Amino acid sequence: MRIRLIAVGTRMPDWVQAAYGEYAKRLPRELTLELVEIPLGQRSKSSSTAAAIAKESAAILAAVGEGDRVIALEVKGKDWSTEQLSQQLAKWQMDGGNVSLLVGGPDGLSDECRARADVHWSLSRLTLPHPLVRVLLSEQIYRAWTILANHPYHK
């Protein structure tokens, strides 16, 4: 199974790339975590925020694999504990398909991305910085896998 983390934003600090990479490489071969970075839409006085979101949205949706289960990361989504995430991960693995996790830009996801999502998931009611979201997601996916594998990391 492949989980695609489709996130708006490029040029992350080295610590983000290192932390994300560390957790992604810990996952077993049958569960890969792939990062797809989407360039930030241009925001300026002369261009509208709506145009930037539309450009980001088109790129996000183009990166979603055909037949993927789509999970939109949103503040107003469902809260999952780590144990609930591990149950979701087990279900995704049993279903045999791939998963795309969508992380919007500074203005969030477009209505089109929200409509394409099968589930809306909230990491927190707090607004988190985008670099931290990548690290948090990769660590929680790894932790969920360790629960399923009875690995001591979760303890």
Where is the binding site, in residues?
73, 104, 123-128
- Name the 3-class secondary structure at 125: coil
Residue 143 tokens, joined: 């932790």
Annotated binding site for S-adenosyl-L-methionine: 73, 104, 123-128
* Best CA proximity match to 141, nearest among 8, 31, 10: 31
The order of strands in the sheet holding 32-38 is 32-38, 2-8, 99-103, 69-79, 119-122
In contact, 34 and 2? CB cutoff 8 Å: yes
Characterize the bridge pairing of strands 32-38 and 119-122: unpaired
- With a CB cutoff of 8 Å and minimum separation 6, the contacts of 136 are 123, 128
